[in-house]
Amino acid sequence: MSTPAPTADRLACPALEGRRLVVVGAGSHTGRLLAQAASAAGADLVLAGPDPRKLEWTAGELTGPALVVPVDLGDEESIARLAEQAGRFDHLVSTAAMPANGPLAELRLADVQRAFAAKVLGPLLLAKHLAGQAAEGGSFTFFSGVAAWRPAPARTVMATTNGALAFLVQALAVEIAPVRVNAVSPGIVDTGSWDGLGSDKAAFLRGVAERNPARRVGTPADLIQAVLYAIGNPYVTGTVLHVDGGGRLV
pLDDT for 103: 97
In this structure, are residues 7 and 29 in contact, taking their beta carbons and an 8 Å threshold?
no
pLDDT for 11: 61
DSSP H helices, 91-200, are: 109-116, 122-130, 156-175
Q: pTM to 2 decimals?
A: 0.93
Q: In angstroms, rounded to a whole number, what is the distance separating the alpha carbons of residues 79 and 92? A: 13
pLDDT for 127: 98
In this structure, are residues 78 and 121 in contact, taking their beta carbons and an 8 Å threshold?
no
Homologous superfamily of 16-242: NAD(P)-binding Rossmann-like Domain (3.40.50.720)
Domain boundaries of the chain, sorted by first residue? 16-242
Per-residue model confidence as pLDDT tens for the chain (250 residues): 444 555 555 566 667 999 999 999 999 999 999 999 999 999 999 999 999 999 999 999 999 999 999 999 999 999 999 999 999 999 999 999 999 999 999 999 999 999 999 999 999 999 999 999 999 999 999 999 999 999 999 999 999 999 999 999 999 999 999 999 999 999 999 987 788 888 899 999 999 999 999 999 999 999 999 999 999 999 999 999 999 999 999 9
DSSP H helices, the chain, are: 29-40, 52-60, 76-86, 109-116, 122-130, 156-175, 201-211, 220-232
What's the distance, CA 83 to chain centroid?
18
Q: In angstroms, rounded to a whole number, what is the distance separating the alpha carbons of residues 67 and 47? A: 6
